[in-house]
Amino acid sequence: MKIQLHTIRIYAYHGCLPEETKIGGHYTVDVTIDTDFSEAAQTDDLNKTVDYCEVFEIVKEEMSIPSKLIEHVGKRIVKSLLNKISRIEKVQVCVTKIAPPMNGDVSAVSITIEEVRLKS
């Protein structure tokens, strides 16, 4: 069972160039969560699933912290989701930088990180 948040649009200040951290840029984040929400589907109880509003707030919080690399931002988002939401069994995060400053015509660049919660 999966919960997906598609194309979370965020303006943020990531990049290796000094102007990127001052001017900022457009980003999107996609999150796919594996969780068992079968009980929530039967009972209509939000407490039996992952609240996607909480997922959005975690993404927004991590994206607000400037980093040089979107790889670093993506890893922070994954780590934070797993640390803060115990119902997540597996998470995949894709961070996309729209119109990166490159010497060429590139519409976007993205990274994808996927992690499975370790069983204790």
What whole-number distance in Å separates Cα of residue 37 and Cα of residue 80? Answer: 20
Choose the catalytic residue: 22, 48, 90, 97.
97
The predicted structure's pLDDT at residue 7: 98
With a threshold of 0.85, does the pTM exceed it?
yes
3 state DSSP class of 52: helix
**Which long-range contacts link 8-12 to residues 24+ away (Cβ below 8 Å)?**
8/56, 8/59, 8/60, 10/59, 10/60, 10/63, 12/63, 12/64, 12/66, 12/73
Pair of tokens at residue 44 = 């209509």
Clarify whether 97 is annotated catalytic: yes
Residues 57-110 pLDDT 10s: 999 999 999 999 999 999 999 999 999 999 999 999 999 999 998 888 999 999
- Strands 90-98 and 25-34, bridge-based pairing: antiparallel
b (16+ CB within 10 A) / e for 87-118: bbeebbbbbbbeebeeeeeeeeebbebeeebe
